[in-house]
Amino acid sequence: MKTKLFSCILIFICIIFYGIFIEPTLIKTKQISFSNNNVNSNKAFNIIQISDTHFNDKEDVERFGRIVKKINHMQPDFIVFTGDLISDIRKFSYQKEVIQLLKELTPKIGKLAIYGNHDHGGYFTEQYEKLLKESHFTLLKNEEKTYFVHSQKISFIGLDDYMLGNKQYNKILERIQKNTYTIVLAHEPDIANMTKNYPINLQLSGHSHGGQIYFPFYQSFFMPPYAKKYNRGSYTLSTKYNSHLVVSNGIGTTKFPIRILTPPEIISIEIKGQIKKT
């Protein structure tokens, strides 16, 4: 009996050690591909999504430096950040270092960002906007940015944070352009319950951290509000619009500095055209 108890305690300690000191440093790159008839059939473009960095200390900043090098090596067309940059701006002393690293991200075409709930919290709203501007990011707050890629219109719609921002989304969503591949950036993934009713093609979200502690067939008790239905991986939202949702595990942690079976991730998304049947 004592041997079994000792073994259980040892296993528990090993799991906690792994979750605190090992898995949070194991940055994975997830490859996803979608096809759509709003994209030229012989062309493709790619997007790198990063989310929920939750910078807390110098170690987080140094780790992100390695992530920046990894992303630039992939040479993406776009880089998008889907919110929650710094956990608590009032306790963070490395803003200049973060700005420099964000500046060093060099996609071929553009880099865009939105607000997360932590980006509005702690009186950070204006500072976050200034920080991203200095980092050469386009911050979208219920706004749209359109690019022409291979003579094809690609549109990014950035929604303000659902929990602490301006939730008046209908005005921008009702203006979605025709014959355009439309990507919605929304921090909280469960906003997809609304966006799936509009002719979007892709929604990119974060917020959930994948639950941080995940066991198959078990709903993590760490899932935050508005990440209950959609919280990790990719989903089909609408067959009518051929729309999908991607939810990032993010890079940092919050509340508890632990990850188990939810490694931090960079998401690389390829968007290619559908070959029309003859």
> Domain limits of the chain?
2-273
Q: How far apart are alpha carbons 76 and 181 in whole angstroms? A: 17
Secondary structure of 173-204 as H, E, C letters: HCCCCCCCEEEEECCCHHHHHHHCCCCCCEEE
Domain 2-273, what fold?
Answer: Purple Acid Phosphatase; chain A, domain 2 (3.60.21)
The dihedrals phi and psi of 28, each to the nearest 5 degrees, come to -100, 150
The whole-angstrom separation of Cα 257 and Cα 240 is 40
Q: How far apart are CA 217 and CA 170, in angstroms?
A: 35
The helix/strand/coil state of 45 is strand
Any residues with CB less than 8 A from the CB of 197 and at least 6 apart, and which? 238
For the chain, 278 residues long, give each residue's pLDDT as a single digit of tens: 678 887 888 888 998 989 999 999 999 999 999 998 878 767 889 999 999 999 999 999 999 999 999 999 999 999 999 999 998 888 888 999 999 999 999 999 999 999 999 999 777 899 999 999 999 999 999 999 999 998 889 999 999 999 999 999 999 999 998 889 999 999 999 999 999 999 999 999 999 999 998 877 666 667 899 999 999 999 999 999 999 999 999 999 988 899 999 999 999 999 998 765 54
Neighbours of 258 (CB within 10 A): 18
Note the residue count of the chain: 278
